Amino acid sequence: MAAGTAALMISDTLSGRLSAADKKLDPKMKGRINHSVCKWCFPDTSLEDLCKAGKELGLQSIELLTVIDFPLLQKYGLECGMVSGVPGGIPQGLNRMENHDKIVEFFEEHIPLVAASGFRIKNIICFSGNRDGMDEEEGLENCKKGLQRIMPLAEKHKVTVCMELLNSKVDHPDYMCDHTAWGAELAKSVGSESFKLLYDIYHMQIMEGDMIRTIRDNHQYIGHYHTAGVPGRNEIDESQEIYYPAVMRAIAETGFNGYVAQEFIPKGEDKLGALAAGIKLCDV
């Protein structure tokens, strides 16, 4: 009876954890989605171990790393789909003129290094910063001025600067670039193919929903995607409200050839199994 009950509990649902034997995905991925993962979500796994596992799971990139990590990634034939490290981080961004010099200096140093990596996709993250009482128009104009100082070098080296869309409701109170419309308006005003948005599906589901239509209408301004389950930033399974296969198909249908990065925090002990399940779910 116990064995029969246990068998009934095993289901092939979206959230089904892959056993150790199942973690190695079919190496022949569908090819419509390029898969990445954010290292910070796996703090107990060394970068080298994540590189080894990632190759088996079908990853092409491990990201939100700095240029010092490039040699290890290259050892395993992986890229860094989104380079991190911009000074000021999330709260102190480009919407404040007093932050521009140190941010521009960072990009002047790092753009040539990222360009020299040989990676197919060359992205560096940036942030708007928090409002702190600043109105939307002033913030947008200040971000535009800062980005226009960076664009000539980014264009020269074919590196893309991506501003992340984050929610200000749950995780990042007061963050300015918290709606796609604001980010798209900034991209239009900057007027360079070397500036795009990092569309975080988790964050934008919290802020505005209507993701498939929004992606279709604004895909030309989007250079990168992140995933996670809503609510809770956990696994992208049936316990949360986003149906990821439909979102991934919408992304693929726009002709997007950049990276989609898993950025969820695994809850269970089998963290790499959860990552494998997320990659498999998004490989539409």
Is 253 marked active-site? no
Amino acid (1-letter code) at residue 186: L
Q: Which of 63, 79, 164, 235 is catalytic?
A: 164
Residue 38 carries which DSSP code? E
Residues 169, 279: Cα–Cα separation, whole Å = 27
Query: With contact defined as beta carbons under 8 Å apart, do 144 and 108 qualify?
Result: no
Alpha carbon distance 96, 279 (integer Å): 37
210: left (phi over 0), alpha (psi -120 to 50) or beta: left
Q: Is 113 exposed, middle or buried (0-12, 13-18, 19+ CB in 10 A)?
A: middle
Instruction: Confirm whether 263 is a catalytic residue.
Output: yes
| Neighbouring C-beta atoms of residue 49, cutoff 10 Å | 12
Tokens of 259: 């990276």
Catalytic residue, from 63, 79, 235, 263: name it. Answer: 263
- SS3 category, 120: coil
Catalytic residue set = 164, 263
